[in-house]
């Protein structure tokens, strides 16, 4: 007896987009003491969010509001858009699934950068579509011309861009994205993943007023708001796209505690500003460290810094040697950025430990390579 799994699901790789630090610890038996690999916030959550979440526990026997209405209204006011332009989801990862389900299916193509945020590719594969990728430029920027060209040549249904980018950290000004968006085919939807937008300079966020009908802007409470484990984010798009999401999204997709925490955190702008300034300090520390060690870094408007190790082999050896010493980092998997490794801004203690351990690792590796 054997139930019949669809050929689509049978054809998918058994790999998952992210190997969690917990899984690596279980495999190696070495605990991570410096956890700077997943771009998690080292700066906690707003005390107001914590209070709201504690209170929400008292009503956890109730179903959550399936429309996340209070949060959507607050977000609408915050961003000066209509409430019916907002869909709340269990993080951008969930919303990417909705966008892909809405615009991708068998015979449909999604365009993105090779080695960009893997959840997009994961969903495209899962819904039977095809990923078409174009390489990053050698300097770590997304190749906007190549992405737009590919969207046209492939008659793509969807194009994905993270701005600021992960894993590179690089970013474009919104005015530069306008030309990119204008150059896309009329029928091609476009995801602008703004997971790191709070850390970026003024003029980076894509304007939400009078939104182009092809655009979906995605935001999250996982990074600057420090709520990655709560799983909550949102999409801003036209009411037509939001209506489409509502047809397929899990009705109770965002739990009650996360909704309450996000609402409170949204109103604590001072807290978020404090996180942004601590992250800026941390990026400066990493950049100074890199300079001392003769490594270059990519420009970053995120909560991490991407260090250039020169070659793929050296970057991988650095990652492995750091892991042996209890330091969790990640590295880009595809050329040209596979020569780099990516380090999240950690706590003061984590940054000090990293600054102590990285030079040891480099001398060990460079002696072995030489
Ligand atoms: C961290 C990150 C996200 C956040 O995803 P959530 O599901 O909201 O936690 C989305 N996109 C990119 C590029 C990221 O790096």
Q: Encode pLDDT of 305-318 as tens digits.
A: 999 999 999 999 99
Residue 370 predicted with pLDDT over 80 = no
Q: Domains of the chain (ranges plus CATH)?
A: 19-44+270-369 (3.90.1150.10), 47-267 (3.40.640.10)
Residue 15 predicted with pLDDT over 80 = no
CB count in 10 Å sphere of residue 211: 17
Residue 152 predicted with pLDDT over 90 = yes
C-alpha distances (whole Å) from 78 to each of 202, 235, 271, 354 are 16, 14, 16, 37
- Which residues of 144-188 form beta strands (DSSP E)? 158-162
Q: Which atom of ligand 1 is nearest to the CA of 223?
A: 1
As a whole number, mean pLDDT of residues 166-182 equals 96
Cβ of 92 less than 6 Å from ligand 1: yes
Residue 154 predicted with pLDDT over 80 = yes
Residues of the chain with pLDDT > 70, as a percent, come to: 99
Per-residue pLDDT, 271: 98
Per-residue pLDDT, 167: 97
Cβ of 344 less than 6 Å from ligand 1: no
Question: What single DSSP character describes residue 59?
Answer: T
Q: Which atom of ligand 1 is nearest to the CA of 116?
A: 13
Q: How high does pLDDT run on average in the chain?
A: 96
Residue 18 predicted with pLDDT over 80 = no
Per-residue pLDDT, 368: 82
Per-residue pLDDT, 356: 97
Confidence of residue 173 (pLDDT cuts 50, 70, 90): very high
As a whole number, mean pLDDT of residues 324-346 equals 97
Q: Whose CA is nearest to atom 11 of ligand 1?
A: 195
Q: What is the CA radius of gyration of the chain?
A: 21
Confidence of residue 14 (pLDDT cuts 50, 70, 90): confident
Q: Whose CA is nearest to atom 4 of ligand 1?
A: 92
Per-residue pLDDT, 367: 87
> pLDDT tens digit string along 103-151?
999 999 999 999 999 999 999 999 999 999 999 999 999 999 999 999 9
Residue 369 predicted with pLDDT over 80 = no
Which sign, positive or negative, has the C-alpha torsion 296, 37, 124, 236?
negative
Cβ of 194 less than 6 Å from ligand 1: no
As a whole number, mean pLDDT of residues 178-198 equals 97
CA 221 to centroid of ligand 1, rounded, Å: 9
Confidence of residue 54 (pLDDT cuts 50, 70, 90): very high
> pLDDT tens digit string along 63-103?
999 999 999 999 999 999 999 999 999 999 999 999 999 99
- Which residues of the chain form beta strands (DSSP E)? 34-35, 86-89, 109-113, 130-134, 158-162, 189-193, 215-220, 233-236, 296-297, 304-308, 327-328, 340-344
Residue 26 predicted with pLDDT over 80 = yes
Cβ of 338 less than 6 Å from ligand 1: no
CA 162 to centroid of ligand 1, rounded, Å: 9
> pLDDT tens digit string along 200-211?
999 999 999 999
CB count in 10 Å sphere of residue 103: 25
Confidence of residue 257 (pLDDT cuts 50, 70, 90): very high
Q: Is the pTM of this model over 0.95?
A: yes
């Amino acid at each position: 007896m054997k139930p019949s799994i669809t050929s689509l699901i049978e054809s998918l790789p058994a790999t998952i987009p992210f190997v969690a630090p917990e899984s690596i610890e279980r495999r190696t038996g070495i605990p991570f003491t410096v956890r700077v690999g997943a771009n998690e916030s080292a700066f906690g959550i707003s005390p107001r969010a914590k209070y709201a979440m504690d209170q929400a526990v008292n009503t956890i026997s109730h179903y959550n509001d399936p429309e996340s209405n209070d949060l959507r209204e607050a977000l609408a006011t915050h961003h000066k858009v209509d409430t019916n332009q907002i869909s709340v989801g269990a993080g951008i990862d969930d919303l990417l699934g909705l966008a892909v389900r809405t615009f991708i299916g068998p015979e449909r193509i999604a365009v993105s950068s090779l080695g960009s945020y893997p959840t997009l590719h994961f969903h495209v594969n899962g819904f039977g579509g095809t990923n078409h990728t174009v390489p990053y430029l050698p300097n770590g920027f997304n190749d906007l011309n190549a992405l737009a060209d590919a969207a046209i040549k492939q008659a793509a249904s969807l194009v994905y861009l993270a701005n600021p980018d992960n894993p590179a950290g690089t970013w474009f000004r919104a005015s530069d994205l306008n030309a990119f968006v204008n150059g896309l085919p009329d029928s091609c939807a476009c995801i602008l993943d703004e997971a790191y937008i709070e850390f970026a300079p003024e003029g980076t966020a894509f304007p939400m007023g009078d939104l182009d009908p092809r655009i979906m802007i995605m935001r999250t409470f996982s990074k600057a708001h420090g709520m990655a484990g709560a799983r909550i984010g949102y999409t801003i798009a036209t009411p037509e796209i939001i209506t489409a999401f509502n047809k397929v999204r899990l009705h109770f997709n965002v739990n009650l505690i996360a909704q309450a925490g996000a609402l409170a955190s949204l109103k604590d702008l001072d807290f978020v500003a404090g996180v942004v300034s601590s992250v800026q300090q941390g990026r400066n520390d990493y950049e100074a460290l890199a300079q001392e060690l003769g490594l270059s870094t990519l420009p970053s408007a995120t909560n991490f810094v991407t260090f250039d190790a020169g070659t793929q082999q050296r970057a991988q050896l650095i990652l492995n040697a750091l892991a042996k010493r209890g330091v969790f980092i990640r590295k880009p998997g595809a050329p040209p950025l596979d020569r780099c490794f990516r380090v999240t801004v950690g706590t003061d203690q984590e940054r000090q430990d990293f600054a102590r351990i990285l030079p040891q690792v480099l001398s060990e590796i460079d002696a072995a390579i030489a």
